[in-house]
Amino acid sequence: MTQPLLKEDAESASVIPLREGIGSAFKTLRQSKRITLSEASGRIKFSTRQIQALENEEWDILPTGVPLRGLVKNYARFLEADVDAMLVMLESQVASATPPRSAIEPAKGGAAFTPTDLPSQAEGGGFPWGWFLIIVALLVVAGFYAVDQGWVPESWLAFEWFKSL
C-alpha cells in the first residue's frame, strides 16, 4: 500500500507510506531534500507556524477549505511532490478529522446561540428611505430660500403664491 509521492522515476524516488498521513509525508519529503522550515516558508509565502502545523497535522490551527488546499498545493509543488496525491490524502484526513468548531460560541452561563436567532434578512439591504427623505426636504427648503432671496426669475414660478413669497 505504498506508492511514491514524487513525480520523478518511481525506482529512484523515496517511497513514503500513505497510511502515515499527509503531515508526515510532507515532513519526510522536506527533510530528505534538506530544506528548513524557514526556507520553505520563504518560498511558498506561508508562515513557518502554518507549515509546522500541517506537518504535525494540527487541523484546529490551520485554515479550512480553499486556503488549506492552497497551502497543500503550494507546499507539494515546492517539494516536487504529486499535487493530486497530496490533495487526495488531505481530503481523506480532513474528512476523518473532528467537525469544525462553531464560529459563534455561547457566552459563559448564557443560552446557546442558534442559527434561528440570526436575522432573516441582512440589515440595510433595502433602499435608504431615510436619506432620500432628508435630501428631498433639503431641496425643498433650498428652493424656498432661493425664491425668497430673489435668485429665481418670476417667469419660472408657476403659482401666484410663490410670487408673493
Mean per-residue pLDDT over the chain, rounded: 77
CB 135 within 8 A of CB 127: no
Q: Give Cα separations from 67 to 55, 64, 73 (angstroms).
A: 16, 6, 10
**Cβ 15 vs Cβ 32: under 8 Å:** no
CA 66 to chain CA centroid, nearest Å: 8
Residues 88 and 143 in one domain: no
Rounded Cα gap, residues 83 and 80, in angstroms: 8
Q: Does residue 88 sit in the same domain as residue 141?
A: no
Q: Other C-beta atoms within 10 Å of 147: how many?
A: 16
Strand partners, 16: 3
The reply to whether 32 falls in a domain is yes
The CB density around residue 87, as the number of other CB atoms within 10 Å, is 15
The parent domain of residue 88 ranges over 2-96
Q: What pTM did the predictor assign?
A: 0.50
List beta partners, residue 4.
15
Single residue among 79, 96, 113 that ends a domain in this structure: 96
Number of domains in the chain: 2
Model pLDDT, residue 152:
83
75 within a domain of the structure (yes/no): yes
> What pLDDT sits at residue 20?
74
Residues 16-23 have a mean pLDDT of: 68
Residues 7, 84: one domain? Answer: yes
154 shares a domain with 89: no
